[in-house]
Amino acid sequence: MTKQHIEQTEPTTEDMQQENEKLYQQLTNKNEDYMVKLNRQLDKYGYEESQKIAIVNQMLPVIVEEQANHNLARSIYGSPTEAVDKMNQQSEQPREVEPSPTWQRYLDGSLLIAGVFMIISAISQYIGTQTQVGLISLLVLLALGGAVVILISQYAPDENNKGFLKYILVSTVTLSVLMFFYATLEMIIPRHINILFGPQLASAIGAGLLTLKWFIKSKLNIRGNII
């Protein structure tokens, strides 16, 4: 059999996907949940769709066969995280995680900054100070927070903490500028325009923004921000 003939008989991505769909229908609930979590881990490390289909196509026949013997996918491959970590270790080069689109990272960062500021404002009011966030100030935080988080994330240190001092410097300067700009707005914007939020409302808004951030980040699998 020639090499050309072998290449022609190799399954295509479409063939593997069709086979995967048939095998998925045979999975137990626990094994199906395992594959969902495995796919999330593959997404986290930036595997392409064709790569994911090929990996799943190798695993599913084994899982379906072994579940008849009451063996779960977890007992065969370890946890989804362990399985993908092993795939990464077997790669010739470490797999770099591709950051998400800028608009997704911007939205994620804006919700984080605005949510944190609202929580800090609520706590400050509860302990007796008069640090209140106004409506216009909140909108400004939502508009600028994403840029702040993206800038800080670009200087995040590597695994060996290389560039840690630069990261601390950039973070300190960036957040200081944001705080100064925020404080200036609070002073110059008239109170009848910049409606202030009391502690209870500030707490609710802050918690809502941070919950929304977590939900969107999980739903869109946003990557690239430091937090």
Q: Is 134 helix (H, G, I), strand (E, B) or coil?
A: strand
**Which residue range is the domain that position 30 belongs to?**
13-90
Does 113 share its domain with 210?
Answer: yes
Return the bridge partners of 134, or none.
196
Does 84 share its domain with 107?
Answer: no
* pLDDT tens by residue, the chain, 227 residues: 444 443 446 778 888 999 999 999 999 999 999 999 999 989 888 888 888 999 999 999 999 999 888 889 999 999 998 988 888 877 645 555 678 889 999 999 999 999 999 998 899 888 876 677 888 888 988 999 999 999 998 888 766 667 788 888 988 999 899 888 888 887 888 878 888 888 899 999 999 999 999 999 988 888 888 87
Is residue 3 in some structural domain?
no
Does 196 share its domain with 151?
Answer: yes
Among 52, 70, 90, the domain boundary falls at 90
Among 55, 90, 125, the domain boundary falls at 90
- How long is the chain? 227
Q: What pLDDT score was predicted for residue 190?
A: 84
Count of domains in the chain? 2
Q: Which two tokens stand for residue 82?
A: 């362990």
Q: What pLDDT score was predicted for residue 130?
A: 64
Positive or negative, the CA dihedral 36, 41, 45, 47 is: negative
Q: Which amino acid is at 1?
A: M
State the first-to-last Cα distance of the chain, in angstroms, to the nearest integer.
Answer: 54
**H-type alpha helices, the chain:** 3-9, 13-24, 29-44, 49-67, 73-77, 80-90, 102-126, 135-154, 164-188, 199-220
Q: Which two tokens stand for residue 95?
A: 């797999």
Does 212 share its domain with 129?
Answer: yes
Output the pTM of the full model: 0.57
Q: What pLDDT score was predicted for residue 188?
A: 85
CA angle 103, 104, 105 (to 5 degrees): 90
